[in-house]
Amino acid sequence: MKYLKISVVFALAAIAADALEAREIKVAPGSLTPHAALLKIREAKKSGDASQWTVRVKPGVYEFDEPLVFTPEDSGSPSAPVKWVGEGKVVFSGGRVLKGWRDDGDGVWSAPIPRGKDGKLAFFESLYVNGRRADRARLPLEGKFTVKSWKEQVLVEGSVTNYLEETVLNGNACDALAGLSKSELAAAQWRVFVKWAYGSYPIESYDAATKAVAVKGRVSVARWGWGKWDADRHNYFYIENVKAGFTRKGQWFYDVTEGRVKYRALSGEKISSIEAIAPTSGLVSLVKFSGDVEKGDFVHDIHFENISFTATRTGGDSLENGVVRQYQHQAARATLASVMGEGAHRVRFERCKVFNTENYAFRFEDGCVSNAIVSCEIVDAGAGGIWLGNDKSNILKYANPETRDIKDPPWNRPLKTEPLVDTSFRAVRFNVIDNNLITRCGRVNPEGVGVVLTHAADTRVTHNEISDLYYTGISVGWTWGYWGSYAQRNEISFNRITDIGKGEMADMGGVYTLGASYGTVITNNVIMDINSISYGGWGMYNDEGSEGVLWQNNLVVNTSTDSYHQHFGRSNSVVNCIMANARGGKICISRTEDHHQVTFERNIVYWPSGPLYVGWNAFKNNTAKVRMNNNLFWCSSGLTELNGNTIGFVGDPLFVDPKNGNWRLKENSPALKLGFKPWDYTLSGRRRE
- Tell me the pLDDT tens digit for each residue of 544-565: 999 999 999 999 999 999 999 9
> What pLDDT, on a 0 to 100 scale, did the predictor assign at position 217?
79
> What pLDDT, on a 0 to 100 scale, did the predictor assign at position 338?
98
Helix (H, G, I), strand (E, B) or coil at 263: strand
> Average pLDDT in the 462-467 region?
98
Q: What is the DSSP letter of 269?
A: -
CB 600 within 8 A of CB 592: no
| Separation between Cα atoms, residue 200 and residue 315, nearest integer Å | 12
- Tell me the pLDDT tens digit for each residue of 602-620: 999 999 888 888 776 777 7
- Let me know if 362 is exposed, middle or buried by CB neighbors in 10 A (0-12, 13-18, 19+): buried
| Separation between Cα atoms, residue 575 and residue 148, nearest integer Å | 46
- Tell me the pLDDT tens digit for each residue of 29-82: 999 999 999 999 999 999 998 899 999 999 999 999 999 999 999 999 999 999
Q: Higher-confidence residue: 555 or 116?
A: 555
The β-bridge relationship of strands 160-169 and 212-217 is antiparallel
Q: What is the 3-state secondary structure (H, E, C) of 139-175?
A: ECCCCCECEEEEEEEEEEECCEEEEEEEEEECCCCCH
Helix (H, G, I), strand (E, B) or coil at 599: strand
pTM attached to this predicted model: 0.92
CB 215 within 8 A of CB 186: no
- Considering only CA atoms, which of 288, 436, 278 is closest in space to residue 357? 278
β strands within 208-256, DSSP E? 212-217, 235-240, 251-255
Name the pLDDT band for 258 (thresholds 50, 70, 90): very high
- What b/e readout covers 179-193, taking b as 16+ CB neighbours within 10 angstroms? ebeeebbbbbbbbbb
Q: What is the DSSP letter of 47?
A: T
> What pLDDT, on a 0 to 100 scale, did the predictor assign at position 59?
98
CB 606 within 8 A of CB 629: no
Q: What is the DSSP letter of 398?
A: B
- What b/e readout covers 499-521, taking b as 16+ CB neighbours within 10 angstroms? bbbbebbbbbbbbbbbbbbbebb
| Separation between Cα atoms, residue 672 and residue 657, nearest integer Å | 17
Q: What is the mean pLDDT of the chain?
A: 87
Residue 18 is inside which H or E element, if any?
helix 2-19
- Tell me the pLDDT tens digit for each residue of 323-337: 777 777 789 988 999
| Separation between Cα atoms, residue 265 and residue 103, nearest integer Å | 10
| Separation between Cα atoms, residue 574 and residue 226, nearest integer Å | 32
Residue partners of 589: CB distance under 8 A and separation at least 6: 565, 566, 567, 568, 597, 598, 617, 618, 619, 626
Residue 88 neighbours by CB distance under 10 Å: 9
Name the pLDDT band for 493 (thresholds 50, 70, 90): very high
Phi and psi of 202, rounded to 5°? Answer: -70, 155
End-to-end CA distance of the chain: 50
